[in-house]
Amino acid sequence: MINFSLCQWLPLEDASLFKLISQCTINSNAVNKRPFHRLCSLMRKMGAQSLWIEKVNSSNNADIDYESNYLKKFFNSHVEITAYKFIFVQESNAEIIKVDPQKLTFLSCSVVMNYSSGREKNSYLLYSIVAIPKRYDFLSETPIPLMNYYFHSFRNYDFILNDPLLGKVNFKICGSPFFQQNKTTSVCMQSALATIFNNIGHNKKLILPNRINELYGVPFGRELFLDKKGTLKVIKKRGLFTKELLFDQKETMEVFKELFKKFGWSPSSSVYPWMESGFPGFIVFRTRSTDLHVVPIIGHTLNTDSWQPEADIRYNRRVRFHFRPVSAWIDNFIIHDDNFGMYLSYPASKLSEKKGRYGYFVDHVIFVTEHKITLPPDRLEIDLISDLRQVFELNKDVSEEENPWLHRIINEEKAPLVSRTMVAKKTDFLKTLGQRDSNGKKITKTDIDAVGEQMPDRFWLTEVTLPDLYLANKTALISIVTQLNTDRQIFIRLPRLGYLIIQNKCYRLDLPTSGHYKIYERISDIETYDW
Amino acid sequence: MPKKELKAALKIKHGEISPLSLKTLRGEKTEEEVKALSLLTAWHNNAKKKKDFAGVLR
């Protein structure tokens, strides 16, 4: 079937990946090869120079063993399986021989599965883990992250390359696993849940889409189309919680029309805090009148040159004390689509499309969390507007000389206050709080300890700033800490002062920090490049 | 740090400032804000009530 050399590094410069795809898959118009093409396109874009192909089977690969056993049980008959593992690396053949094999730049590891059982046959990517995409920079001669791409749902995955000469080579790839539905035992929800469960868990073995069927308890031989109840049941069985956001009703559009008019609040503003908190989630959207499709959310892209938020500020004059959620600058969600491939950009505006227009109308967005969270962050942000107005009122006499940034934010007439809410970890937040502000000043350890004493391990953090500070400096002027499940604030930090709330009493702290602070970031394994 | 000690430490650090009542920080909501909060609350509750997706997942 395959004319490419197995178990040796294949130079990609003159190789045809189109030929590779047709040789490694069943020749049939019924087979969906788009995800395989997307994988190869990404590898070209990410500068892959060499490819390793191994033939894998039940005896040398646990994932193939699991999948083939599942298919055999499902069809209740013999299943013929041919499968290949593809490992792309960035190095050329000339470089590979000089480098320790474990130190190669592994760009992806994928398995393509071909099966036939009687008249049933199919080819699909059983899994494909592509490293968080980077592009090769010819000036610095290193791969650099994609500009303004922010990945939230990913982790390190372990793989093995079986070299006949060197033996087993262990390597890791940091990314988000992609699974193609095989249309027989798995459809889109199994693929989406497999991506989510793998990213949220710490299991060493990959959770394949058919494991979702087992978790749900579906009998073999029966096709499984998960409904909402089944989906929520599977998630609950993993010990996880969900947050459902509903977009399919006419009333939803009316709610957001009102919220946009008065608060510049869009549907993606309600989605953003869950995603920015690092919670994996998925979008369920309509493809036909009776058919839906689901895609997992991996991250988002940000366009800091976007015209719309500026225009909304200028032309909608009611914005003075309204927050402008940072989601206004988000142009895409990064998703996997098990019909087309990994790390695709899905326009955030799709959430706002009108009901009845078949623009892949969004039905639900569901986020999966490890803790139960009952206070919705969109409600919290709007709730905080009046409190912040009150805090400004308390400090209205502050002079420009005394506290320039507080004076500026209180008296700024032309720009709205930009807000950003997400679940923060106490340890990461205290680290941010311990950093120097834009004037080089730090909060004392005693004050940081006093604040830390009052905080739970996780909480909603709302950062408020001016649009220019957010877009150009990635800094915030105000931080507000609120409990996850009640709208009780714990701490409010402003330039030069803080309010610490202990047992319904509020202590005013004088702080040495009169500047702006780096916005909160979760500690991550991957670099991001901002414009 | 126990709460009493913490309060004492804060007093030493920041002087004898009598704590503000929490109400001092609560601002009065405008009609628009009240309406927005009520709309959002209803929207969040609707999501739980909707028992199924609007079609078959494929």
Which residue is closest to A447 within chain B, CA to CA? B10
Which residues from B are below 8 Å from A506, CB to CB?
19-22, 24-25
Identify whether A237 is part of a domain.
Answer: no
Residue A131 shares a structural domain with residue A180: yes
**pLDDT for residue A159 is more than 80:** yes
A187-196, A395-404, A520-529: range with lowest mean pLDDT: A520-529
Size of chain A, expressed as the number of residues it contains? 531
Hunting for tokens 């309509």 — which residue is that? A286
Average pLDDT over residues A207-227: 82
Residue A123 shares a structural domain with residue A183: yes
Residue A160 shares a structural domain with residue A192: yes
Check residue A201 and give its pLDDT: 82
Express each pLDDT in A365-419 by its tens digit.
Answer: 999 999 999 999 999 999 998 999 899 999 999 999 999 999 999 988 777 789 9
Q: Count residue pairs from A and B with Cβ separation < 8 A.
A: 162
Identify whether A395 is part of a domain.
Answer: yes
Check residue A246 and give its pLDDT: 92
Cross-chain residue pair B36–A288, CB shorter than 8 Å:
no
In chain B, DSSP finds a helix count (H) and a strand count (E) of 2, 2
Identify whether A183 is part of a domain.
Answer: yes
> How far apart (Å, rounded) are the C-alpha atoms in residues A37 and A18?
8
Range of the domain at A288: 242-369
Identify whether A525 is part of a domain.
Answer: no
| Residue B51: both structure tokens together | 């028992």
Q: Which of A337, A369, A401 is the last residue of a domain?
A: A369
Express each pLDDT in B19-54 by its tens digit.
Answer: 677 777 888 999 999 999 999 999 999 888 888 888
**pLDDT for residue A255 is more than 70:** yes
Domain count, chain A: 3
Express each pLDDT in A18-51 by its tens digit.
Answer: 999 999 999 999 999 999 999 999 999 999 999 9
Which residues from B are below 8 Å from A453, CB to CB?
1, 6
Which of A218, A379, A444 would you mutate first to test chain B, the one with the most B CBs within 10 A?
Answer: A379
Q: Which of A230, A254, A281 is the last residue of a domain?
A: A230
At a CB cut-off of 8 Å and minimum separation 6, what does A257 contact? none
Contact A364, A248 (CB under 8 A): yes
Residue A124 shares a structural domain with residue A52: yes
Residue A109 shares a structural domain with residue A204: yes
Q: Does B57 touch chain A if contact means CB atoms closer than 8 Å? A: yes
Average pLDDT over residues A163-181: 94
Q: Does B2 touch chain A if contact means CB atoms closer than 8 Å? A: no
Residue A71 shares a structural domain with residue A180: yes
Which residue is closest to B34 within chain A, CA to CA? A383
Average pLDDT over residues A194-207: 91
Cross-chain residue pair A225–B24, CB shorter than 8 Å:
no
Q: List Cα–Cα distances, A357 to A171, A287, A289, A352, in angstroms.
A: 46, 11, 10, 11
Q: Which of A369, A391, A409 is the last residue of a domain?
A: A369
**pLDDT for residue A319 is more than 60:** no
Q: Specify the amino acid at residue B53.
A: F
Check residue A321 and give its pLDDT: 54
**pLDDT for residue A483 is more than 80:** yes
Q: Give, rounded to a whole angstrom, the gap between the first and last alpha carbons of chain A.
A: 47
Residue A354 shares a structural domain with residue A417: no
Cross-chain residue pair A255–B28, CB shorter than 8 Å:
no
pTM for the structure as a whole: 0.93
**pLDDT for residue A487 is more than 60:** yes
Identify whether A2 is part of a domain.
Answer: no
Which residues from B are below 8 Å from A189, CB to CB?
57
Residue A172 shares a structural domain with residue A29: yes
Cross-chain residue pair A390–B25, CB shorter than 8 Å:
yes
A293-307, A322-336, A470-484: range with lowest mean pLDDT: A322-336
Residue A182 shares a structural domain with residue A271: no
Residue A60 shares a structural domain with residue A32: yes
Q: Give the gap in angstroms from C-alpha B29 to the nearest C-alpha of chain A.
A: 5
**pLDDT for residue A457 is more than 60:** yes
Residue A384 shares a structural domain with residue A357: no
Which residues from B are below 8 Å from A489, CB to CB?
25
Identify whether A236 is part of a domain.
Answer: no
**Nearest Cβ partner for A386 among B29, B35, B44:** B29
Identify whether A523 is part of a domain.
Answer: no
**Average model confidence (pLDDT) for chain A?**
90
Hunting for tokens 């008019």 — which residue is that? A261
Residue A77 shares a structural domain with residue A217: yes
Identify whether A1 is part of a domain.
Answer: no
ipTM > 0.95, yes or no: no
Average pLDDT over residues A75-94: 94
Interface of B with A in 21-40 (CB under 8 A): 21-22, 24-30, 32-33, 35-37, 39-40
SS3 A29: coil
Reported as a pLDDT band with limits 50, 70 and 90, residue A137 is: confident
Per DSSP bridges, beta strands A291-302 and B56-57 are parallel
